């Protein structure tokens, strides 16, 4: 009858020390990542609250020309109201996918009595109504008032699809590029998403702005903290097992 195998000897103190240092570093990094995600969640919740307050506030006049250069993310989704004339002959169609299906955003410059120009996203039209002649009622003359949300420019294009000003193909609402292509001169560096107020003839359809902020930070935080606990538990088990083994001869 064979004798039972002897337990393997205890790992050297140097080996255990290196393992302990590596585990401590991994634990600190994982806890740090979890804490960072908690901080990001706090920031995201504050952002959501601030944006919610902006979209439900009373509409204000758009920023004055001298303030245009300072427009930034803290201004996004502010409710604005502006009055002026649409320059229908310089509208631009930007490809869009909405809850109404695929089609185009109709971006039309609006000129105020003071000479300021703003690019207005009047809303959505389906592909078969992209030609302005098929929605002539919506091309009305005279002054109008637009209420909507301030949106930041979307330069460059969409994922894997660059804007083609020369070909008239637009995949993002790039204010500067559209202004240059349409010869609009100095325009506000943002655009305004019109609200759901009906246009004559029913097109374009406004009020389709989607305001949604992904907030998975709590899940990420719990994941990092769980991994940190696994590292701690695994290291503790390793040391406990090592201490139970006989010393090396």
Rounded to the nearest angstrom, the gap between the alpha carbon of residue 49 and the centroid of all alpha carbons in its chain is 15
User: What are the DSSP calls for the chain, one per residue?
Assistant: -PPPPPPPPPPPHHHHHHHHHHHHHHHHHHHHHHHHHHHHHHHHHHHHHHHHHHHTSPPBPPPPGGGGGG--GGGTT-EEEEEEEE-GGG-EEEEEEETTEEEEEEEEEEE-TTS-EEEEEEEEE-GGG-SGGGGGGGS--SEEEEEEEEEE---SEETTEE-BTTTTB-SS--HHHHHHHTT--S--SEEEEE-SPPPGGG-SB-----------HHHHHHHHHHHHHHHHHHHHHHHHHHHHSPPP-
The CA distance from 97 to 156, in Å, is: 18
Give the start-to-end residue ranges of the domains of the chain: 13-43+215-244, 78-202
Per-residue pLDDT of the chain (249 residues; tens, 9 = 90+): 555 565 566 666 677 788 889 999 999 999 999 999 999 999 889 888 888 899 999 999 999 999 999 999 999 999 999 999 999 999 999 999 999 999 999 999 999 999 999 999 999 999 999 999 999 999 988 999 999 999 999 998 888 889 999 999 999 999 999 999 999 999 999 999 999 999 999 999 999 998 888 889 999 999 999 999 999 999 988 888 777 766 655
Q: Which of 237, 221, 238, 233 is nearest to 30 (CA)?
A: 221
- pTM confidence score: 0.79
């Amino acid at each position: 009858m064979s004798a039972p195998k002897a337990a393997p000897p205890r790992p050297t103190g140097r080996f255990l020390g290196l393992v302990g240092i590596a585990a401590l570093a991994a634990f600190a990094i994982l806890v740090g990542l979890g804490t960072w995600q908690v901080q990001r969640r706090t920031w995201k919740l504050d952002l959501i609250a601030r944006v919610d307050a902006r979209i439900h506030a009373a509409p204000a006049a758009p920023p004055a020309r001298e303030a245009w250069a300072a427009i930034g993310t803290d201004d996004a989704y502010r409710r604005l109201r502006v009055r002026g004339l649409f320059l229908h002959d310089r509208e631009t169609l930007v490809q869009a996918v909405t809850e109404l299906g695929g089609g185009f955003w109709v971006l039309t410059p609006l000129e105020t009595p003071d000479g300021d120009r703003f690019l207005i996203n009047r809303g959505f039209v389906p592909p078969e109504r992209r030609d302005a002649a098929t929605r002539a009622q919506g091309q009305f003359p005279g002054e109008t008032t637009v209420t909507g949300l301030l949106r930041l420019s979307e330069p460059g294009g969409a994922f894997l699809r660059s804007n083609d000003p020369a070909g008239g193909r637009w995949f993002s609402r790039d204010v500067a590029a559209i202004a240059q292509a349409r010869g609009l001169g100095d325009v506000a560096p943002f655009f305004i998403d019109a609200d759901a107020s009906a246009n004559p003839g029913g097109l374009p359809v406004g009020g389709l702005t989607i305001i949604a902020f992904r907030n998975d930070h709590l899940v990420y935080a719990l994941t990092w903290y769980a991994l940190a606990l696994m590292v701690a538990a695994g290291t503790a088990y390793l040391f406990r097992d090592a201490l139970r083994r006989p010393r090396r001869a």
